[in-house]
Amino acid sequence: MSKTGAIERPPEDRTPRTTLIPPQRASASAVSATAPALDSKLDAFYIPDFCATRMVFAVVLIAELVAVTLALARPDAPFLTELARISLFLQWLGLTNAALLCYSRRWLARLTVPQSSTAAFALILLNTVVISELSLWLGTAFGAFNLASGIAMLAASALAGALWQFVGPDATFWSGAVLAGISGLLAWSTLKSWNKPK
């Protein structure tokens, strides 16, 4: 017993570690000698296995924490709206980067460390550019639609206000009914022309 009352183990039970390499697992010793050398190279590869569930969970968690941090950094914007927008982008980016590194891990393991580092960085950078451009394109398309809808609603509101002011409330409702009927006829004729066999 020591002076503090703790039971000490005998010195022969302690196994000193002389290297930084972790001890072999039992499953690794059961692998046959005919296993390709690439598998042992993959085990020692410095880029983590992003195909594993634990790593995917880590990517999702880290991306979400970064999204929360970025959403909190903008106090002028609504928090939940900003969090949803940033979270969608970062999750999309993180999971596609993880998938790229997962599927390219065998190829990257064949390269030297500087080559594989450069190739992994180039893959992540290329994926980030593609995802960013795709989200910008989608945002621009939705933005153009919302801009056109907003301009049309502004013009419709101005026309309805002018009719209400100068002609009367009945004219506003009758013009709305007539325009809704014209829109319905146009939609019906468009759907009819799409369904015609060619």
- Give pLDDT, residue 156: 80
pLDDT at 101 over 70: yes
> How far apart (Å, rounded) are the C-alpha atoms in residues 48 and 59?
12
Residues 10-27 pLDDT 10s? 555 555 555 555 555 555
Residues 30-85 pLDDT 10s? 545 544 555 555 567 788 888 889 999 999 999 999 999 999 998 888 888 889 98
pTM: 0.53
Residue 19 is inside which H or E element, if any? none
- Give pLDDT, residue 54: 92
For the chain, domain boundaries: 38-141
Residues 103-131 pLDDT 10s? 998 888 888 888 888 899 999 999 999 88
Residues 141-176 pLDDT 10s? 777 777 777 778 888 888 888 888 888 888 888 888
Question: Is the dihedral angle over the CA atoms 10, 13, 16, 22 positive or is it negative?
Answer: negative
- Give pLDDT, residue 34: 44
For residue 24, which of 53, 2, 44 has the smallest C-alpha distance? 44
- Give pLDDT, residue 75: 82
- Give pLDDT, residue 94: 93
Distance of CA 8 to the CA centre of its chain: 52
**What end-to-end distance do the CA atoms of the chain give, in Å?**
95
Check: CB of residue 128 under 8 Å from CB of residue 97: yes
Check: CB of residue 95 under 8 Å from CB of residue 56: yes
Helix (H, G, I), strand (E, B) or coil at 35: coil
Residue 57 is inside which H or E element, if any? helix 53-72
Helix (H, G, I), strand (E, B) or coil at 184: helix
